[in-house]
Amino acid sequence: MKINTFVLVAVSTAALFLAGCVSTVDGRKEVANPLVKDKVIRVYERPVMQCWAAAKDVLTAMGTIFSEDVMQSTVSARVDTRTVRVKVESIDPKMTRVTTQVRTKMGNSDLDLGGEIDKQIALRLATGQLPMSQSTPAK
């Protein structure tokens, strides 16, 4: 009897942690682990269009853009095997919120890559160009 109860509790707990539906920054739902933090949110004192261009440049340099939604101000890309979504929102004419969300194929978050992408966006905004390690060589 104790073994059956233990197995039932173990299976229920595994189902709770492994299955779930999360919202993405572009308004969609996907199967993923809902109990982990998957977003990096930063506010920049820059206009929306500068942040949008910086996000697109960084994602193009680091991976492959597969979706761009101008109406929702989101851009999605593949970086290695990760799915990266970046949303750019205006707080006021000079302040912009940039939300970076990174998920693996299995639905887990990758905050290290999210932080790296956020750092690259900040460097792009500060310098006006991509760092040398991320830019493509001139032909």
User: Residue 19: what pLDDT?
Assistant: 62
The answer to whether the CB of 58 falls within 8 A of the CB of 51 is no
Q: How many CB atoms lie within 10 A of CB 13?
A: 10
Q: The domain that contains 56 carries what CATH number?
A: 3.30.530.50
Residue 3 lies in a domain: no
pTM of the model: 0.78
- How would you list the strands of the sheet with 64-69, edge to edge? 39-44, 95-103, 82-92, 74-79, 64-69
Contact yes or no for 88/48 (Cβ under 8 A):
yes
Instruction: Classify residue 31: in a domain, yes or no.
Output: no
Using CA atoms in the order 111, 116, 122, 125, what is the torsion angle rounded to 10 degrees?
A: -130
Q: What is the residue range of 91's domain?
A: 36-127
Kindly report, residue by residue over 58-86, the tens digit of the pLDDT: 999 999 999 998 888 999 999 989 999 99
Supply the Cα-derived Rg of the chain in whole angstroms. 18
| Count: domains in the chain | 1
Is 66 a domain residue? yes
Tens of pLDDT, residues 101-135 = 999 988 888 999 999 999 999 999 998 776 554 44
